[in-house]
Amino acid sequence: MIETIRKLVEAYGPSGHEDQIRALILEEIDGLADEVTVDALGNVIAWKRSGREGAKKVMLSAHMDEIGVMVTHVDEDGFLRFTGIGGVYASTLIGNRVRFADGTVGAIGVEGDMNRKPALSELYIDVSDGKNRKPRIRVGDAAGMVRDLVVRGDRLTAKSMDDRIGCAVQIEVMRQLSGSPNDVAFVFSVQEEVGLRGARTAAHAVDPDIGIAIDVTRTGDTPKGVKMDVKLGAGPAIKIKDSGMLAAPEVVALMEKAARKARIPCQREVLVRGTTDAAAMQLVRAGVRAGCLSIPCRYVHTTSETVDLNDVQNAVKLLLTLLKEPVRV
């Protein structure tokens, strides 16, 4: 599973520019589904059908997009001004590198004194080549961060665990799931970081009986960190509430039952800031019972997002256990 994770987290794919990561996911799931479609917005919807009349429809959704930046101005010397795509923090960007869709890599610098918290407008991307050539990058071009996956025992650190790790969980579930009595739609959604847009259109098409997002969540296990009862290595977290939704109690109970049956640890999650695809699924059509299975993650929305492999593997086990029985809500 590590090599699948490596491919996903190192790939390019800021919100609205998911072509490369989508092609990679389509390659990874080739032959694993009964039906695969890509909708007008760019979501991948992969069905594993039960073949049973009246089977419940379960929608799983992990977003394939990542935070990034978009060029707003290009000068003659190879310096680019930019804005954020999604929740980009200026204080974490200085000295980092970004890659554009065409492979161009630039370094992020800051005006003046580095010993202060800058505004995003004070940062720039340096793509100069020393040959006095105007950059081929144009206004409106998007870039994602550049950072390789690092494996330290069970701890995995990379630039886009949010939410490529959720995509990896779904791919692994697809590989191992057979004979489910439910019709399962595995959705790899787009544009989550800019407003849960892909999940909303995908859920309208799928029209599920229940929906479960697979995403990352923050932790409370770092020095002087936020007070939150989620930590790395203690199992996947079952969301109760975040700033965008209240999880359906029936879906929470379904996931907790599956964790007990699979004999894996799990945690309960209340997230003060942030939300997931589940919030969009919940409000589609006449409403959907929705919840979220979260992978605890340190340093969210930085280039060093860190998860524990045991939590990832246990998330796979929980979902397999849940899907191997008829869903009743």
Give the number of residues written for the chain.
329
- Residues designated catalytic: 192
CB 208 within 8 A of CB 185: yes
257 has pLDDT over 90: yes
Q: How far apart are alpha carbons 117 and 107 in whole angstroms?
A: 18
**Cα dihedral value 193, 242, 222, 152, nearest 10:** -50
Q: Give 81's pLDDT tier (boundaries 50, 70, 90).
A: very high
pLDDT in tens, 136-188: 899 999 999 999 999 999 999 999 999 999 999 999 999 999 989 999 999 99
Beta strands in 159-205 (DSSP E): 183-189
Characterize the bridge pairing of strands 237-241 and 68-74.
unpaired
Q: Is 31 exposed, middle or buried (0-12, 13-18, 19+ CB in 10 A)?
A: exposed
Average pLDDT over residues 306-313: 98
Residues forming a β-bridge with 306: 157, 298
What percent of the chain is predicted at pLDDT more than 70? Answer: 100
Element (H, E) at 58: strand 57-63
pLDDT in tens, 2-16: 999 999 999 999 999
Average pLDDT over residues 223-242: 94
Residue 261, number of CB atoms within 10 A of its CB: 14
41 has pLDDT over 90: yes
Q: How far is CA 305 from CA 9, 158, 191, 298, 300, in A?
A: 10, 5, 19, 6, 5
Helix (H/G/I), strand (E/B), else coil: 36: strand
Question: Residue 134: CB partners within 8 Å, gap ≥ 6?
Answer: 74, 76, 78
294 has pLDDT over 90: yes
Q: Where are the alpha helices (DSSP H) in 113-157?
A: none
131 has pLDDT over 80: no
CB 271 within 8 A of CB 218: yes
Indicate the range of 284-288, 290-294, 316-320 predicted with least confidence: 284-288
Could you report how far apart the first and last alpha carbons of the chain are, in Å? 31
Write down the mean pLDDT value for the chain: 95
Q: Give 112's pLDDT tier (boundaries 50, 70, 90).
A: confident
Q: How far apart are alpha carbons 125 and 311 in whole angstroms?
A: 36
Average pLDDT over residues 45-67: 96
* pLDDT recorded at residue 133: 72
135 has pLDDT over 90: no
134 has pLDDT over 80: no
212 has pLDDT over 80: yes
Does the global pTM surpass 0.85? yes
* pLDDT recorded at residue 170: 98
* pLDDT recorded at residue 290: 98
Query: 51-55, 77-81, 278-282: which has the highest mean pLDDT?
Result: 278-282
Q: Give 226's pLDDT tier (boundaries 50, 70, 90).
A: confident
List the domains of the chain with CATH numbers.
2-66+159-323 (3.40.630.10), 68-145 (2.40.30.40)
Q: Give 130's pLDDT tier (boundaries 50, 70, 90).
A: confident
